[in-house]
A and B are shown apart, each in its own frame.
Chain A
C-alpha cells in the first residue's frame, strides 16, 4: 500500500491530456452543455418522471408505492404504506443521496431503520414535511416525497461494503456505455457510497465486469479498509444486464451524456436507481484511466452506425476495458 499522504506535486497539463483525462471545464463545456439540453434535465432530476419513463421503456426499477406532494396529505402516509412491509422515502428532486430514509420493517406505529434504530410516526412526519419544504431539493424548491419498495440487496457485495448499499455507476455517452465503477461504503464515508466522503470506487471493466483498479480519496487501495476483502475477488453478477439497462436508459431520454446508477435486487436482478446528468469525474481515478479518449472515439463514429442498444453494447465491450 502507498502512503496516503504525499506532498502536493503537480503534473503537467500536457501529460494529463496525453493520458486522456477529462477535466471539469471540458466535461461541462464540451459534453454536458453540448449533449445535454437543459429542457431534458427533468428526465433525470425528477425521480417520478424518471420512474415513469423507465416503466414505459421496460427499464427495471424499484417498485413505486406512491408519492405525497401536499402538506395536508402528509398525515395520511400510514395509509399508503399499510400493505407494504418495507419502504424508502426519497425527495423527488434530491441529489447525492440526500434526504433518503430507509425503513426495513414497521407495524404502522414503530418504524425500524436498517441499523435497527426505531423511530415513530412524528419522525417520519417531520421528514416528509422537510422534503416538501425543499430542504433536500436542488435550489431549495418545494418538492414532493416519493415512496418506493426497498431493494432487497443481494449479499454478493456484503464482504466489500461497510453498512451502505453499493451501486454500480455507468457513464453512458450517446447510448454507448463508456466507463463503469462500483462505489463501496466505508467507515470513513459513514456507510455512504459518496466517493468524496471516503467511499472506495472500484473500476469495472465494460468488457466483462471484472474489477480493474480501486481507489479511495485519489489513492490506490487493494483491500477494503474495514472488511479487509481483496477487491480483486469482486465479481459483478448479471454484468450483461447492467449494460443492457444502461443502454436502454439512453433510449428513454434525449440526454447524450449521463450516469446511470444501478443496484442489484436479489430476486429481480439489476434495477435502475437513478440517472445523473452531471456524473462526476472521480470514476476516472477508480478506473485508473481517463475518459476523454473513449468519449472522442464515440464522437468520431458516424451517426447511426449502431442503431440498436445491442450493437452499441457490442461496440463498447469490444473497445473499452
Chain B
C-alpha cells in the first residue's frame, strides 16, 4: 500500500515538474524569440509611410510595386492594414515580398502611400545573408568604359596590395570625384544612383560582388525623407555596408533596410515624374498592445499560433479575466489549506472578487453588503412560510435579481456608473451564500455566521487586491502558459500534510505540555 503511494507521489512530482518546465520554457521562448516584454512599461513603435507621387498618363492605369523589407536583425515590421488599403502583397519569382497597386488615371498629380508598423527588437538577431551567386555576369563593357575602369582602379590601388575592404572604400572615393560625363560612361542612371552604380561596375571588374542597399532612418517626426543608400559589398566572406560619400564602413543605427537583394525600391509603369518619400512617426503604445502588434506582424510570418494576441479584442477581454482566475484559485487553496480560514463556499470569495474588479472595491463592497443584508432578511421571512428548499432558494435568486436591477437603475439615476455594473455579481453564488448564511445563523448562531462572512469578505478583498494588480494582469495574460505552473503548484499543495497556520494557534495548549 505504501509502495503504491510512493509511486503515486513520484508520478505527481514528475507531472508537476514537467508542467513547470513547459510553462517556463514557453515563457522563455516568448521573451527570447518573440520579444514579449517582461515588464508592462509602456513603450513605442514606429509608423512609417512610403508615399509615392506621380502623374498618371491618360487612359492608362498606373501600376506600382514597392519593395518590402525581408527580415531585419533590429526590427519587427509589418504592413498596417488600416493604412495600406490600396496595396496587396505578393512575392516575386525570387521569393521577395513586394506590395503592388493599380491606380486609375486622374488629371492631377497623385500620391498613394503604403504604411508599415515597425517595432524595435529587444534582442539583436544575427542575419546570415547568402553569398553572391557565381553566375552573375554583368553586361559587357564598352572599350571606353574598360579604359575608365582601369584608370580608376589604377588610382585607387596603384600597388595592387589593398585588401578588398580597403579597395571598396578607395573605389567609392574615386568614383565620387568623377565628372558627370565620366559617370555617364559607367552608368545609365542619374544623380546619386549613378555613383553607386559606377562603383559596382568597377568592383565587378576586380571580382568583388556589390549591390545597392536602400532603406529609411527611423527618426521621430522625419517627414518626406528620401530613401538612404549604401553600397553593400561582399568582402572576406561577409556583406558589408559602405557609405557612398565617405567610402567608410557604416552600420547605421535606427535604419530599416527596404531593398537589398531586390532589383529596385519601387517600380511604376503608366506614370511619369514619380518619386518616393518616407515619413516616420514614433507612436507610444502599452506593452500589451505592442505584443499584439508584434503578434500581428509575426503572424504574417506564420507564427501567430504562439499567442492569444491575435484573437479579436472582445475575446481578449474575456481571456484577460480567465488568465487571472487560476492565480485567484491558487490563493483560495492557500487560504484554506495553508492558512486554514473557513469561508462560506469554497470559491465564493474569488467570484465576488472578480465582480469587485468590474465595479472597483468600495462600490462593490457596498453593493455586496446591501444585497446580502436584504437577501438575508427576506430569507428569514421566507423561512417562516415553510417552503421546500428548491422553491425557497429560487425565490432568493429572484429577489437578488430584482435587487441588482434596482441598484443598477438607481446607479444610473444618480450617475454612479460603478453601481450600474452590479450585474457582474455572480447571482447564483450570492443566492447560495444567503441560503448558507441563513442556515448557519439558525444552527450555529449569529457569531459563527458573522465570523464566516467576515472571513469570506476579507478573502475576497485580498483576492481583489491580488487580481487588480496591473502588472500581474499584464504578466499572466501575456504569458498565460504560466498558469500551467500554477496548476502544478495547486497539485503539489494537494499533498501538503503540514499544519495549517490557524492550527498553530488552535492546538497551542497541546504543545505547551
Docked-complex contact B499 and A19, CB < 8 angstroms: no
Docked-complex contact B389 and A220, CB < 8 angstroms: no
Rounded to whole angstroms, the CA-CA distance of A54 and B512 in the bound complex is 41
- Contact A8/B445 with A19-B511, A30-B497, A140-B389 known, Cβ cut-off 8 Å: no
- Asked if B414 CB lies within 8 Å of chain A CBs, one says no
Interface residues of A in 1-49 (CB under 8 A from B): 8-13, 15-19, 21, 23-26, 29-30, 34
Interface residues of A in 108-156 (CB under 8 A from B): 126, 129-130, 133-135, 140
- Asked if B122 CB lies within 8 Å of chain A CBs, one says no
Docked-complex contact B389 and A135, CB < 8 angstroms: yes
Quick one: which of B439, B500, B504, B513 contacts A19, CB cutoff 8 A?
A: B513
Docked-complex contact B507 and A129, CB < 8 angstroms: no
Rounded to whole angstroms, the CA-CA distance of A319 and B504 in the bound complex is 27
- Asked if A285 CB lies within 8 Å of chain B CBs, one says yes
The interface residues of chain A lying within 8 Å CB-to-CB of B263 are: none
- Contact A11/B508 with A23-B503, A197-B445 known, Cβ cut-off 8 Å: yes
- Asked if A158 CB lies within 8 Å of chain B CBs, one says no
- Asked if A284 CB lies within 8 Å of chain B CBs, one says yes
- Contact A10/B508 with A23-B499, A129-B388, A140-B389 known, Cβ cut-off 8 Å: yes
Rounded to whole angstroms, the CA-CA distance of A190 and B447 in the bound complex is 13
A-B contact pairs, 17 of them (CB 8 A): A9-B508, A11-B507, A12-B504, A16-B504, A18-B511, A21-B503, A21-B510, A23-B500, A24-B503, A25-B496, A129-B388, A133-B389, A135-B389, A196-B448, A197-B445, A218-B508, A290-B507
The interface residues of chain A lying within 8 Å CB-to-CB of B495 are: 29
- Asked if A269 CB lies within 8 Å of chain B CBs, one says no
- Asked if A237 CB lies within 8 Å of chain B CBs, one says no
- Asked if A215 CB lies within 8 Å of chain B CBs, one says yes
Quick one: which of B337, B448, B507 contacts A285, CB cutoff 8 A?
A: B507
- Asked if A288 CB lies within 8 Å of chain B CBs, one says yes
Rounded to whole angstroms, the CA-CA distance of A219 and B439 in the bound complex is 28
B503 to chain A, nearest CB (A): 5
Docked-complex contact B509 and A285, CB < 8 angstroms: yes
The interface residues of chain B lying within 8 Å CB-to-CB of A26 are: 497-498
- Asked if A82 CB lies within 8 Å of chain B CBs, one says no
Docked-complex contact A220 and B509, CB < 8 angstroms: yes
B386 to chain A, nearest CB (A): 5
- Contact A25/B513 with A9-B508, A134-B389 known, Cβ cut-off 8 Å: no
- Asked if B161 CB lies within 8 Å of chain A CBs, one says no
- Asked if B137 CB lies within 8 Å of chain A CBs, one says no
B181 to chain A, nearest CB (A): 93
The interface residues of chain B lying within 8 Å CB-to-CB of A11 are: 504-505, 507-508, 511-512
The interface residues of chain A lying within 8 Å CB-to-CB of B5 are: 34
B50 to chain A, nearest CB (A): 65
Docked-complex contact B507 and A284, CB < 8 angstroms: yes
Q: Mark A139-182, 1 if CB is under 8 A from B, else 0.
A: 01000000000000000000000000000000000000000000
Interface residues of A in 180-199 (CB under 8 A from B): 190, 194, 196-197
The interface residues of chain B lying within 8 Å CB-to-CB of A290 are: 507, 510
The interface residues of chain A lying within 8 Å CB-to-CB of B496 are: 25, 29
- Asked if A98 CB lies within 8 Å of chain B CBs, one says yes
- Contact A13/B388 with A98-B443, A285-B510, A288-B509 known, Cβ cut-off 8 Å: no
- Asked if A62 CB lies within 8 Å of chain B CBs, one says no
Residue from the set A9, A15, A23, A30 with the largest chain B CB neighbour count within 10 Å: A23
The interface residues of chain A lying within 8 Å CB-to-CB of B253 are: none
**Top-5 shortest CB links A-B:** A26-B497, A23-B499, A10-B504, A133-B388, A15-B511
Rounded to whole angstroms, the CA-CA distance of A133 and B388 in the bound complex is 6
- Asked if A289 CB lies within 8 Å of chain B CBs, one says yes
- Asked if B340 CB lies within 8 Å of chain A CBs, one says yes
Quick one: which of A9, A34, A130, A284 contacts B510, CB cutoff 8 A?
A: A284
Rounded to whole angstroms, the CA-CA distance of A302 and B439 in the bound complex is 46
Docked-complex contact A24 and B510, CB < 8 angstroms: no
Rounded to whole angstroms, the CA-CA distance of A135 and B442 in the bound complex is 13
- Asked if B313 CB lies within 8 Å of chain A CBs, one says no
B495 to chain A: closest residue by CB: A29
The interface residues of chain A lying within 8 Å CB-to-CB of B443 are: 96, 98
- Asked if B139 CB lies within 8 Å of chain A CBs, one says no
- Asked if B506 CB lies within 8 Å of chain A CBs, one says yes
Docked-complex contact B499 and A16, CB < 8 angstroms: yes
- Asked if B444 CB lies within 8 Å of chain A CBs, one says yes
B386 to chain A: closest residue by CB: A126
Docked-complex contact A21 and B511, CB < 8 angstroms: yes
The interface residues of chain B lying within 8 Å CB-to-CB of A19 are: 510-511, 513
A23 to chain B: closest residue by CB: B499
B327 to chain A, nearest CB (A): 22
B499 to chain A: closest residue by CB: A23
- Asked if B362 CB lies within 8 Å of chain A CBs, one says no
Rounded to whole angstroms, the CA-CA distance of A29 and B498 in the bound complex is 10
- Asked if B390 CB lies within 8 Å of chain A CBs, one says yes
The interface residues of chain B lying within 8 Å CB-to-CB of A215 are: 509
Interface residues of A in 286-313 (CB under 8 A from B): 288-290
- Contact A10/B507 with A23-B499, A25-B496, A133-B388 known, Cβ cut-off 8 Å: no
